[in-house]
Amino acid sequence: MNMFESILFLLGGLGAFLIGLKMMGDNLQNIAGDRLKSLFNKVSNNKFIGIATGAGITAVIQSSSATTVMIVGFVNAGMMTLKQATSIIMGANIGTTITAQITALQSLPITPFLTALACVGAFMVMFGKDKFTKAGMLISGIGIIFIGMRFMSDSMDNVSSSPQVIELLASVTNPALLMLIGLVFTAIFQSSSATTSILITLCSVSLDGGGQLMTLRSAIFVTLGINIGTCVTAMLASIGANTNAKRASVIHLLFNIFGTIIFLLIIFIAPLISEKLAFDYWLPRAFGPVSTQIAMFHTIFNVLATLVLVPFTGGLTKLATLLVRDKKNSQEDAEEKIFAYIDERILKSPSIALMVMRKELLAMASLAKLNFDIAIDTLTNLNFDRKKEFEEREQRIDFLNKKLTKFAVKISAKDISYKEEKEIASFYHVISDIERVGDYAENICESAQELVDNNLNFSPKAIEEIMMMKGAIDKLYDFVMQAFEQKSLVLKDEVNGYEDLVDTYEENLSKNHIVRLHNSECSAESGGIFLSIISNMERIADHFRNVFTSMSTYVSAVKTKASVKDETPLADVDNSENVRILPSFPAENDTEQKENEVIAQVSTNDKDNK
pLDDT, tens digit (0-9, with 9 covering 90-100), for 132-179: 888 888 899 888 888 888 888 777 766 666 676 677 767 778 889 999
Q: Is 512 exposed, middle or buried (0-12, 13-18, 19+ CB in 10 A)?
A: buried
Q: Write the pLDDT tens digit of every residue in 282-298.
A: 888 788 788 888 888 98
Q: Which residue has the higher pLDDT, 525 or 398?
A: 398
pLDDT recorded at residue 9: 84
**Is the pLDDT score of 598 beyond 70?**
no
Rounded to an integer, the average pLDDT of 486-509 is 92
Q: d(Cα 224, Cα 446) in Å, to the nearest integer?
A: 66
**Is the pLDDT score of 428 beyond 70?**
yes
Q: Which of 259-268, 269-278, 451-460, 585-594 has the highest mean pLDDT?
A: 259-268
pLDDT recorded at residue 592: 46
pLDDT recorded at residue 561: 45
Q: Write the pLDDT tens digit of every residue in 294-339.
A: 888 989 999 999 999 989 888 888 999 898 887 654 444 444 467 8
Q: Which residue has the higher pLDDT, 4 or 50?
A: 50
Rounded to an integer, the average pLDDT of 123-130 is 80
Q: Which residue has the higher pLDDT, 111 or 453?
A: 453
Q: d(Cα 267, Cα 280) in Å, to the nearest integer?
A: 9
pLDDT recorded at residue 396: 93
Nearest to 73 by CA among 248, 228, 230: 248
Per-residue pLDDT band for 104 (boundaries 50, 70, 90) equals: confident
First to last CA, the chain: 103
Nearest to 488 by CA among 407, 565, 418, 412: 565
Q: Write the pLDDT tens digit of every residue in 517-541.
A: 777 766 667 778 888 999 999 999 9
Which amino acid, one-letter code, is at 159?
A: V
**By the 8 A CB rule, do 17 and 152 touch?**
yes
Q: d(Cα 298, Cα 97) in Å, to the nearest integer?
A: 6
CA-CA distances (angstroms) from residue 490 to 343, 354, 442, 561? 31, 21, 32, 5
Q: d(Cα 51, Cα 526) in Å, to the nearest integer?
A: 63
**By the 8 A CB rule, do 364 and 85 touch?**
no
Q: Write the pLDDT tens digit of every residue in 214-243.
A: 788 888 999 999 989 888 888 887 877 778
Rounded to an integer, the average pLDDT of 398-411 is 93
Crossing angle of helices 192-204 and 3-31, in 10° steps, is 130
CA-CA distances (angstroms) from residue 440 to 376, 454, 459, 467, 471? 11, 21, 23, 16, 17
Share of the chain above pLDDT 70, in %: 83
Q: What is the pTM of this model?
A: 0.73
